[in-house]
């Protein structure tokens, strides 16, 4: 009989990352899990899974595809989620607008009535001096309107 991570004393915590294709969801996961950044990730097809135990918590990270053709599959990943991180690219206004135009409605639909932490994450801040299209204030205001935490 083998022991699972839960049996070994870690607490499972499922996190689903959503957002448009190209906003850097895979890079965020790779940085957290493997502490590396390549900047050359291929588009995620369907979803990718990674896990990491950190301070007694087993983070189960579901990196979903932002491509429209895979949106129907994304709904399955919300089941049992403890947190949803909605990611946008601060250098791409379209990715930010897509959060309010479609992603938040989808998140609400599949997590309504459940105790799920919502985080709005503005990514690619290393590029802000040259090409920032979404201000920190806009991101914070949006997060406040949807009742989410925000990080930029």
Q: What is the CATH number of the domain that holds 56?
A: 3.40.50.300
The model's pLDDT over 123-150, given as tens digits with 9 standing for 90+, comes to 998 887 778 999 999 999 999 999 998 8
Residue 138 tokens read as 């806009």
In a domain, 2, yes or no: no
- Is residue 141 within 8 A of residue 109, CB to CB? The reply is no
For the chain, counts of helices (H) and of strands (E): 6, 6
Above 70 in pLDDT, residue 122? Answer: yes
pTM: 0.83
In a domain, 1, yes or no: no
For the chain, the domain total comes to 1
Provide the 3-class DSSP secondary structure of residue 47: strand
Q: Reading across the β-sheet that carries 11-18, which strands appear in turn?
A: 47-54, 57-64, 11-18, 83-89, 117-123, 149-151
In a domain, 109, yes or no: yes
Contacts of 8 (CB under 8 A, 6+ apart): none
In a domain, 6, yes or no: no
Q: Which domain, by its residues, includes 20?
A: 11-151
In a domain, 5, yes or no: no
Above 80 in pLDDT, residue 113? Answer: yes
- What confidence tier does 65 reach under pLDDT thresholds 50, 70, 90? low
- Is residue 117 within 8 A of residue 81, CB to CB? The reply is no
């Amino acid at each position: 009989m083998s022991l699972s991570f839960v049996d070994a004393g870690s607490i499972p915590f499922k996190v689903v990352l959503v957002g448009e294709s190209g906003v850097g969801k895979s890079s965020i996961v790779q940085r957290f899990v493997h502490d590396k950044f390549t900047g050359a990730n291929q588009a995620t097809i369907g979803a990718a899974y990674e896990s990491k135990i950190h301070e007694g918590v087993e983070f189960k990270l579901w990196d979903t595809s932002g491509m429209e053709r895979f949106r129907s599959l994304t709904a399955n990943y919300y089941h049992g989620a403890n947190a949803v991180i909605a990611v946008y690219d601060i250098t791409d206004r379209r990715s930010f607008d897509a959060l309010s135009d479609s992603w938040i409605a989808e998140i609400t639909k599949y997590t309504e009535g459940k105790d799920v932490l919502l985080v709005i994450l503005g990514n690619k801040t290393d590029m802000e001096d040259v090409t920032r299209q979404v201000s920190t204030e806009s991101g914070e205001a949006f997060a406040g309107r949807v009742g989410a935490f925000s990080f930029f």
